[in-house]
Amino acid sequence: MKVLKLFIIALCLTSCNQIEKSDLTIIDGVQLGVGKVDFYNQLDSIGLKIEKMYTSIYFDKSENLQDNTINLYKTEVFDQPGIFDKAVSNTHHGFYYSISSARGTYIIGTYILLGRCVETIYVKNNQLYNISTYSKIKGVSQDIRVDLIDKIQNVLTLKYGQPAEISKSTLSLLYKIEKNNVQVYKSDTSSLGETVLWKTKYLNIYLFKGFKSFDTAWSVTDNTYNTMLGFSKSARKLNSDEISCYSLPYIYYELNKETIEKLKLNDINNVNI
């Protein structure tokens, strides 16, 4: 009888200690904490497409197009009715950029880099050419209207509750899609952006809203984004009919430290949950 009681107690403790797959699920129904192959199989199974993109929306004759392309999984989960208006439908996306565990075996976090796929312009002899018309490849812009980023924050708040923290810091990381990769930079006083943090029992969710764009704004009159090429190091001055944009916004989903330890995701002998 005593042995039976001990067995029942042990079984209860094991059950209470169990982490359900739903606890580790983020947008698109994707689960963190799985192996690399399984993670990308998930993206394939739900129909997410790998998008080939130019990593700029403007090029000149000094730049090689092949040195400025990238392939990333694209999600349209936030570009839904009720979140974005019809005027900008089917143009805003998120691009997966995932983070592995210390041993490189499991996916413990993923960035969703927020951006737009737009027609790419080639500048030659002061003439503008739409190269997307010929190549069927669009360029990625990481400038998004501020009101749309605010709407995404509202969606995350509805799902996860009020944020645990809202902060601004020069220690924020910036993820820029450029050349053939995603480059990581640190913010400075010219690129300060607000970070909103939500916490669940197993996950941390960060929204880096981005910093005010140096060159892009939304024209209410023309119903489109306007980009002014230049080398400004301060936020663009707006016309009376323009809405400002944020540059380099992203969402970051990560397993918290306790969850990683509980699932032994840094243990080479660990077996997938």
Mean pLDDT for 231-258 is 88
State pLDDT tens for residues 25-54: 999 999 999 999 999 999 999 999 899 999
* 177, pLDDT greater than 60: yes
Mean pLDDT for 62-72 is 89
Residue 232 is inside which H or E element, if any? none
Burial state string for 67-85 with b = 16 or more CB within 10 A and e = fewer than 16: ebbbebbbbebbbeeeebe
Mean pLDDT score of the chain, rounded to an integer?
85
CB atoms near residue 156 (< 10 Å):
19
The model's pTM: 0.88
Q: Could you tell me what percent of the chain has a pLDDT over 90?
A: 60
Q: What are the structure tokens assigned to 236, written together?
A: 């663009």
The pLDDT of residue 273:
40
Handedness of CA 261, 266, 267, 269 (dihedral sign): positive
The radius of gyration computed from the CA coordinates of the chain, to the nearest angstrom, equals: 22
The pLDDT of residue 49:
86
